[in-house]
Chain A
Amino acid sequence: MMHFLLLLSRQGKLRLQKWFTPVTEREKKKVIREMTLMVLACPPRSCNFLLWRDLKIVYKRYASLYFCCGLGDQDNELLTLEVLQRYVELLDQYFGNVCELDIIFNFEKAYFILDEFLVGGEILETSKTVVGIAMEEAETLQEVTHTHSHLSVTHLPKYLNMFLLFSQQTMEEYMSKPTY
């Protein structure tokens, strides 16, 4: 299983952290520090696999972000490279030409996408399309329940179709707004 997944910027700032085992805050900080030192120090075109403590570390750099995860000893390192690739593709699918700023300003979305892809350190869904659909539908639900906050989620099914139409409009409206 994956023990943790970290996204680090080139300057060593943490952009996302997901821990799949119980770790104290102190220990987390320690791990982050060590990963930052290890991974940022690797020259380009190095081997993407490192050994650290009793874990296998797989890291990959995408533009200005380093994706770094710790694996157990039975896990397939090459497959994990594909897992990281898939996560980046999912982010790209959602944000469209994703860049580091998207992840900074919409970090909660990055987590939601991750949660549709990995759970408990294991792969949850192997199809990009399914993850995409799940995110869309969850977003819709969120729009509807927020815009109409007097409705709790349990009331939804009856009105969903109507409000889907409404929220499409709302989404388009927001799409045309400037990003920041």
Chain B
Amino acid sequence: MTRGNASAFTGAMSPSVRLQEMIRVIRGARTQGEERGVIQRECAAIRAQFRQADNGTRSHNLAKLLYVHMLGYPAHFGQMECVRLIASPRYNEKRVGYLGAMMLLDEKQDASLLITNSIKNDLSHSSQYVQSLALCTLGCMGSAEMCRDLAPEIDRLLRASNSYIKKKAALCAVHIVRKVPELGELFTPASRSLLSEKNHGVLHGAVVLITELCERNPDTLEQFRKAVPELVQIMKGLVMSGYSPEHNVAGISDPFLQVRILRLLRILGRNNDTASDAMNDLLAQVATNTDSSKTAGSAVLYETVLTVMDIKSESGLRVLAVNILGRFLLNNDRNIRYISMTSLQKIVQTDHNAVQRHRGTIVDCLKDQDASVKRRALELSLALVSAVNIRSLMKELLLFLSSCPPELRAHTTSGIFNAAERYAPSQRWHIDTILHVLTTAGGDVRDETVPNLIQLITTATELHCYTVHKLYRALITDISVQSLVQVACWCIGEYGDLLLRGECEETEPVQVAEDDVLDALEMVLQSHMSSPATRGFALTATMKLSTRITHNVDRIRSIVSIYGSCIDVELQQRAVEYNALFKKYDHMRAAVLERMPVIDKSSPGHTNGESAGGSIKEMEPTKLTQEVVLPQGPANQVCDLLDLLGGSGEPLQPSPALSTTALGPVSSTAGGDLLDLLGGLDVTPVPPSVIVYEKNGMTLKLQTDKQTDTGMTITLTATNSTDRDITSLTLQAAVPKSVQLQMKAPSGDVIPAHGLGQVTQTVLLNNPNMVSLKMRVRVCYTSQDFVCQDTVQIDSFPSPAW
């Protein structure tokens, strides 16, 4: 084909050369400032030209403006020019006008409505190339209104036109259905008949359209299941056909069409035995005969595997599919290994044993250089952990942790902790594993790790000596990892006497004097690397040692009194209180600082209404008992939710809890607030659906439905009466501790304007202890370009509540 450079805008030489000349001048600019100067001049000239009457250069000027726009400069003043050019009778002007419309106008601009009429006219133009411009533009940027207006036209073109137009109309219809789902019904009849077309472009468009219709409407899906045999035939034709130069890609006949048909078959065969049976043979044939030496073949095989795993296929076929994935896993091409692991991830729950067979290769992929492959291998490895392979797999995971990319560290540590929690073969192994992680990546662990580890240590009573020795050694080596230092300080404070005894069964004992231990703690206290929380741990530990050592109590006394004037308010408070303990309450000191009882892992209802003198509830709340399923990563949401319940805004950390409990009755933290919350509750029945939040035109309604004695489903519905869509809507909820909460995925995060649509989110609650139900909901959304965040407390629920 020709080199289509200057010939684009022929006729007078000057206008076309000016476009390329301008590009050349801009590229020749040596500095940003120079470039800006050139562009400002050009834009001024273009603007002047736009204002003039039609002089045959409009399309060139718009083209220049589009180039400037691509460089990142503002070009909104060209929007009206696009509208004008589209209405021009000249094809070259229309062409650039439509291009400009697709680049500068989108459905959010008012000017886009102005082209609706032109599009309408052009859709019935005598030249198919003009029709095609209109179709392409509508299919790329048509707004919902435009789509509603023009849908009947598109339907007409779907039925009666040549294949060039039909295929474009089909994709235009796809866009319309995406924008206005109700219009799907309009296109269903025409799309069915398109399946008998021979032209690949039309066939492809038809399959895409049918896929879209079936995904949105279960009735349509039911209808199109009858088309499975026809689709199978088409697919067979493609697979068995000889070499067709027009459609051949690396030995595969039209892989694009094959993949789309397989995708449609997947949707049609899902959860349906008849449809799945009808496609079984075909899938087996494709799986066996497709040559996967090049990407095109692998793409088809990949789609086939996805389809086989998703429909109700025979077990033989499933085995075939998993074997293909296994083969892919050994492929040299990283891309193939990547998608193999992605697919295996999808089936690791349902076909666990089959995937386990490939564990070795998957674990090897952890060592791959590529970050994407590493990430996939990590996810899959974590999913493959079981009681049987925990020891060997954990070795690999810990090895991976020491060299893994920074963005994966947090995920790896939390994955390792979860796996250790579920499958630890022994307590010592569990403690060792956590300590290993803290030493390697202590900066990337979640906040709850510290209290969780402490809780674990207390339960492993026979290992106290071993643990404190290990932690002491770690502490004197390195005090930079805060989580490790905190745990070490706590242990030394608690079990320091075991350390000083100088004997230990499980490990080589250290020979330390009391001064050495106090030196270590003081080093932590004084180091600038220690966070305030860590220093709190160290101070409390030092205090506790006063009842566990014999000779150096005076040293402790002096440390404590020095910190009584520390600038850090938290440390100062503690030091003053400990000082008081030494002076006025010395008779209580031994009792207050005695060894802690074994902490129970929190269970639902455990913290409600209980306040045993010695039991330290505040240690537990950081281990969340409620399950909140939210779109973003877990760690942040956990903390946010605790904020929601805390009310007082106090961040939940173990150290403040420890300090307050040293001195008397259990003081209130999140647990306490909640107890207050639950006292004196009056539940007044209200009508089933109640408005819980109304602001800025955003309304949130709540509806309840009692499912079981203890279970309830709540539906939150958000509507929008403003004239602009509300976007980025997120809802978070918190309930009292004993109530279990599960949030389902929301229906969307955009609330259409003018009350045209709504977003719903279902919340499942389980209240086994039948406590009075309260809920706090935090709403977060963007409206009129402002980000709004509000918290709503719901004290009373519509009956049938409790």
Chain A residues near B90 (CB-CB < 8 A): 145-146, 149, 152-153
Chain A residues near B335 (CB-CB < 8 A): 47-49, 77-78, 81
The reply to whether B10 and A126 form a contact with Cβ atoms under 8 Å apart is no
Judged by a CB distance under 8 angstroms, whether A14 is at the interface is yes
Judged by a CB distance under 8 angstroms, whether B607 is at the interface is no
Q: How far is the CA of A174 from the CA of B167 in the complex (A)?
A: 33
Complex: chain B residue closest to A157, CB-CB: B126
Q: How far is the CA of A104 from the CA of B25 in the complex (A)?
A: 13
Other-chain residue from A105, A146, A153, A179 in contact with B11 (beta carbon distance below 8 A): A146
Instruction: State which residues 159-174 of A face B: CB under 8 Å.
Output: 170-171, 174
| Contact pattern, B 46-69, Cβ under 8 Å of A = 1, otherwise 0 | 000000000010000001001100
Judged by a CB distance under 8 angstroms, whether A83 is at the interface is yes
Q: How far is the CA of A123 from the CA of B259 in the complex (A)?
A: 12
Chain B residues near A119 (CB-CB < 8 A): 135-136, 139-140, 168, 171-172, 175
Report B415 CB to chain A, min CB distance, Å. 17
Judged by a CB distance under 8 angstroms, whether B339 is at the interface is yes
Central interface residue in B4, B94, B129, by most chain A CB within 10 Å: B4
Instruction: State which residues 187-206 of B face A: CB under 8 Å.
Output: 200-201, 204-205
| Contact pattern, A 122-143, Cβ under 8 Å of B = 1, otherwise 0 | 1111111110101111110111
Q: How far is the CA of A81 from the CA of B256 in the complex (A)?
A: 11
The reply to whether A77 and B339 form a contact with Cβ atoms under 8 Å apart is yes
Judged by a CB distance under 8 angstroms, whether A147 is at the interface is yes
The reply to whether A174 and B6 form a contact with Cβ atoms under 8 Å apart is yes
| Contact pattern, A 26-64, Cβ under 8 Å of B = 1, otherwise 0 | 000100000000000001011111110000000000000
Chain A residues near B295 (CB-CB < 8 A): 78, 81-82, 85
The reply to whether B302 and A78 form a contact with Cβ atoms under 8 Å apart is yes
Judged by a CB distance under 8 angstroms, whether B600 is at the interface is no
Number of interface residues of B (CB under 8 A): 87
The reply to whether B89 and A120 form a contact with Cβ atoms under 8 Å apart is no
Complex: chain A residue closest to B95, CB-CB: A142
Chain B residues near A78 (CB-CB < 8 A): 295, 298-299, 302, 335-336, 339
| Contact pattern, B 286-317, Cβ under 8 Å of A = 1, otherwise 0 | 00000000011011001100000000000000
Instruction: State which residues 72-112 of B face A: CB under 8 Å.
Output: 72, 89-92, 94-96, 99, 102-103, 106-108
Judged by a CB distance under 8 angstroms, whether B774 is at the interface is no
Chain B residues near A142 (CB-CB < 8 A): 8, 91-92, 95
Judged by a CB distance under 8 angstroms, whether B401 is at the interface is no
Report A30 CB to chain B, min CB distance, Å. 12
Judged by a CB distance under 8 angstroms, whether B505 is at the interface is no
Judged by a CB distance under 8 angstroms, whether B31 is at the interface is no
Report A54 CB to chain B, min CB distance, Å. 9
Report B364 CB to chain A, min CB distance, Å. 15
Chain B residues near A17 (CB-CB < 8 A): 70, 103
Chain B residues near A50 (CB-CB < 8 A): 372
Other-chain residue from B127, B136, B200 in contact with A127 (beta carbon distance below 8 A): B200
Report B398 CB to chain A, min CB distance, Å. 24
The reply to whether B99 and A136 form a contact with Cβ atoms under 8 Å apart is no
Other-chain residue from B135, B140, B247, B338 in contact with A20 (beta carbon distance below 8 A): B140
Report B562 CB to chain A, min CB distance, Å. 50
The reply to whether B204 and A109 form a contact with Cβ atoms under 8 Å apart is no
Q: How far is the CA of A46 from the CA of B335 in the complex (A)?
A: 8
Report A14 CB to chain B, min CB distance, Å. 6
The reply to whether B1 and A76 form a contact with Cβ atoms under 8 Å apart is no
Q: How far is the CA of A146 from the CA of B96 in the complex (A)?
A: 13
Report B488 CB to chain A, min CB distance, Å. 37
Whether A49 contacts B339 in the complex (CB less than 8 A), given A108-B99, A141-B127, A141-B129, comes out as yes
| Contact pattern, B 727-750, Cβ under 8 Å of A = 1, otherwise 0 | 000000000000000000000000
The reply to whether A105 and B23 form a contact with Cβ atoms under 8 Å apart is yes
The total of Cβ contacts below 8 Å across the A-B interface reads 220
* Size bracket of the A interface: 35 or more
Whether A126 contacts B256 in the complex (CB less than 8 A), given A78-B335, A93-B1, comes out as yes
The reply to whether B2 and A175 form a contact with Cβ atoms under 8 Å apart is yes
Q: How far is the CA of A56 from the CA of B204 in the complex (A)?
A: 22
Q: How far is the CA of A134 from the CA of B205 in the complex (A)?
A: 17
The reply to whether B3 and A96 form a contact with Cβ atoms under 8 Å apart is yes
Q: How far is the CA of A77 from the CA of B127 in the complex (A)?
A: 36
Q: How far is the CA of A95 from the CA of B3 in the complex (A)?
A: 5
Complex: chain B residue closest to A178, CB-CB: B6
Q: How far is the CA of A102 from the CA of B6 in the complex (A)?
A: 11
Chain B residues near A135 (CB-CB < 8 A): 1
Other-chain residue from A19, A22, A45, A109 in contact with B4 (beta carbon distance below 8 A): A109
Q: How far is the CA of A104 from the CA of B20 in the complex (A)?
A: 9
Judged by a CB distance under 8 angstroms, whether B466 is at the interface is no
Chain B residues near A49 (CB-CB < 8 A): 335, 338-339, 372
Q: How far is the CA of A177 from the CA of B172 in the complex (A)?
A: 39
Judged by a CB distance under 8 angstroms, whether B208 is at the interface is yes
Report A9 CB to chain B, min CB distance, Å. 11
Whether A46 contacts B255 in the complex (CB less than 8 A), given A105-B20, A109-B4, A124-B168, comes out as no
Whether A145 contacts B338 in the complex (CB less than 8 A), given A95-B3, A153-B127, comes out as no
Q: How far is the CA of A102 from the CA of B107 in the complex (A)?
A: 31
The reply to whether A138 and B129 form a contact with Cβ atoms under 8 Å apart is yes
Q: How far is the CA of A95 from the CA of B6 in the complex (A)?
A: 12
The reply to whether B256 and A83 form a contact with Cβ atoms under 8 Å apart is yes
Report A161 CB to chain B, min CB distance, Å. 15
Report A33 CB to chain B, min CB distance, Å. 10
The reply to whether A94 and B205 form a contact with Cβ atoms under 8 Å apart is no
The reply to whether B127 and A180 form a contact with Cβ atoms under 8 Å apart is no
Judged by a CB distance under 8 angstroms, whether B373 is at the interface is yes
The reply to whether A106 and B4 form a contact with Cβ atoms under 8 Å apart is yes
The reply to whether B373 and A105 form a contact with Cβ atoms under 8 Å apart is no
The reply to whether B136 and A47 form a contact with Cβ atoms under 8 Å apart is no
Chain B residues near A102 (CB-CB < 8 A): 3, 5
The reply to whether B255 and A82 form a contact with Cβ atoms under 8 Å apart is yes
The reply to whether B246 and A108 form a contact with Cβ atoms under 8 Å apart is no
Complex: chain A residue closest to B4, CB-CB: A109
Central interface residue in B7, B63, B302, B371, by most chain A CB within 10 Å: B7
Whether A127 contacts B246 in the complex (CB less than 8 A), given A76-B302, A143-B7, A170-B7, comes out as yes
The reply to whether B72 and A14 form a contact with Cβ atoms under 8 Å apart is yes
Judged by a CB distance under 8 angstroms, whether B683 is at the interface is no
The reply to whether A111 and B99 form a contact with Cβ atoms under 8 Å apart is yes
Whether A149 contacts B56 in the complex (CB less than 8 A), given A119-B171, A179-B3, comes out as yes
Complex: chain B residue closest to A24, CB-CB: B108
Whether A109 contacts B125 in the complex (CB less than 8 A), given A47-B370, A122-B174, comes out as no
Q: How far is the CA of A126 from the CA of B199 in the complex (A)?
A: 10
Report B389 CB to chain A, min CB distance, Å. 26
The reply to whether B303 and A79 form a contact with Cβ atoms under 8 Å apart is yes
Chain B residues near A126 (CB-CB < 8 A): 200-201, 204, 247, 254, 256-257
Report B567 CB to chain A, min CB distance, Å. 41
Chain A residues near B298 (CB-CB < 8 A): 78
Judged by a CB distance under 8 angstroms, whether B130 is at the interface is yes
Judged by a CB distance under 8 angstroms, whether B9 is at the interface is yes
Whether A96 contacts B1 in the complex (CB less than 8 A), given A49-B339, A105-B20, A123-B256, comes out as yes
Chain A residues near B334 (CB-CB < 8 A): 45-48
Complex: chain A residue closest to B171, CB-CB: A119
4 additional A-B residue pairs with CB within 8 Å, beyond A123-B256, A142-B91, A153-B127: A46-B372, A95-B3, A119-B135, A180-B24
22 pairs from A and B in contact (CB 8 Å cutoff)? A16-B70, A29-B72, A45-B334, A46-B372, A76-B263, A76-B299, A77-B339, A79-B256, A93-B1, A111-B102, A120-B175, A124-B201, A125-B200, A129-B246, A134-B164, A143-B7, A146-B9, A153-B126, A154-B125, A154-B127, A174-B10, A180-B20
Please list the 3 inter-chain residue pairs (A to B) with the smallest Cβ-Cβ separation, ordered nearest first: A152-B89, A78-B299, A47-B372
